[in-house]
Amino acid sequence: MGKTSSKGKMALITILAVLIIDQVLKVWVKTNMYWHESIRITDWFHIYFTENNGMAFGMEFIGKLFLTSFRLVAVVLIGWYLVKTIKEQKKRGYIICIALIFAGAMGNIIDSVFYGVLFNDSTYSQIATFMPEGGGYAPLLYGRVVDMFYFPIIDTTWPQWLPYLGGDRFIFFSPIFNFADAAISCGMIALLIFYGKYLNKTVSK
């Protein structure tokens, strides 16, 4: 019972930490930056404010309402599995990985479900405000996810002699993402690297 309680607290702390950091960053960006405004931190790291209707890293390929509903179902399932792993006394690292994935999914769901109601629209000429008098920019469940981390590690042009691509701009790692996306990615990568065999055994049961 003591170990279960300890691992449960560890998972809860992980989830709360990710959610707080993620939402503080998103609210600050949303209420202090114009849409597509960029703050240069270094040559290879920018805070670049954008929003998306789709999956992690700005991918968009299915309807907004379906996507939000899918996210809600996914979070419920991940949450159920997280509780199950805690009760079954899985390894601490494994539980933290699942908690990171759960927290990241929750962070983006908050945007999708509530941000349309809580904020007015961000544009090139307007910075959004929290709880505007005229109401938000979209109904419940139709909010957009705030992204801000941009790492153009390599920003150059293709050599002129290359067919089709010569002279075109090339950026290595162009996706723009948020802290929740990073938590999901870190959790999944860590699962594959450190718990691949363990995960296969769990799935095959």
Cβ neighbours of residue 26 closer than 8 Å, sequence gap 6 or more: 107, 111, 146, 148, 178, 179
Where in the chain are the domains? Answer: 2-204
Residue 58: what pLDDT? 45
Q: Which residue has the higher pLDDT, 26 or 175?
A: 26
Q: Which of 22, 111, 147, 155 is catalytic?
A: 147
Q: 92 near 195, Cβ under 8 Å?
A: no
pLDDT 10s digits, 129-180: 999 998 999 999 999 999 999 999 887 888 888 888 878 887 777 899 999 9
For CA atoms 190, 78, 117, 24, the dihedral sign is negative
pLDDT 10s digits, 43-54: 899 999 999 875
Structure token pair of residue 27: 């609210």
Active-site residue, 181 included: yes
Residue 57: what pLDDT? 45
Q: Which of 22, 43, 155, 181 is catalytic?
A: 181
Q: 131 near 157, Cβ under 8 Å?
A: no
Mean pLDDT calculated for residue range 20-44: 97
pLDDT 10s digits, 74-113: 999 999 999 999 998 889 999 999 999 999 999 999 999 9
| pTM for this prediction | 0.86
Q: How far is CA 84 from the centre of its chain?
A: 24
Q: 118 near 138, Cβ under 8 Å?
A: no
If pLDDT is split at 50, 70 and 90, which confidence band does 181 have?
very high
Q: 98 near 195, Cβ under 8 Å?
A: no
Query: How far apart, in whole angstroms, are the C-alpha atoms of residue 11 and residue 84?
Result: 12
Q: 53 near 60, Cβ under 8 Å?
A: yes
Residue 65: what pLDDT? 74
